[in-house]
Amino acid sequence: MQINETIEALFDDNETIHHLLNYPVLRPSKIQGPIIISIGNNVVRKNIADRLNVEFKNAFHPSAIISKHAIIDKGTVVMQGAIIQSCSQIGKHCIINTGASVDHECILEDYVHISPHSTLCGNVTIGEGTWIGAGT
């Protein structure tokens, strides 16, 4: 997601939710894309991504610091205050949560969740579906 890009709706399969944060909540059967999947559970996020035949986009908070030399695949969310340094490679549908730091030349495979205020020093590889706990 680029700065100033608009969100049209949110999607949830909970039939009791109709609005959230002033956005309409639609059912998954109405998904057309492009979308992001903002679910913290890596397995659930992967299962949903595998089921959908839509375009996925990224969402970067404006305060995130992302090197122009980082490579970030589709569906990844980078939250407020997160840092992604030079030559890092971030896979599909990853979450780099609030204040997390991914240093130089790290490789995050698909469906990784880096929790708030976690630090990955340089040249670290994180396997598919891994969850790194908060503050580690």
Q: Which residues are catalytic?
A: 104
Are the C-beta atoms of 104 and 123 separated by less than 8 Å? Answer: yes
Q: Which residues contact 123 (CB under 8 A, 6 or more apart)?
A: 104, 105, 106
For the chain, how are helix, strand and coil distributed in percent, rounded to 5? 10, 25, 65
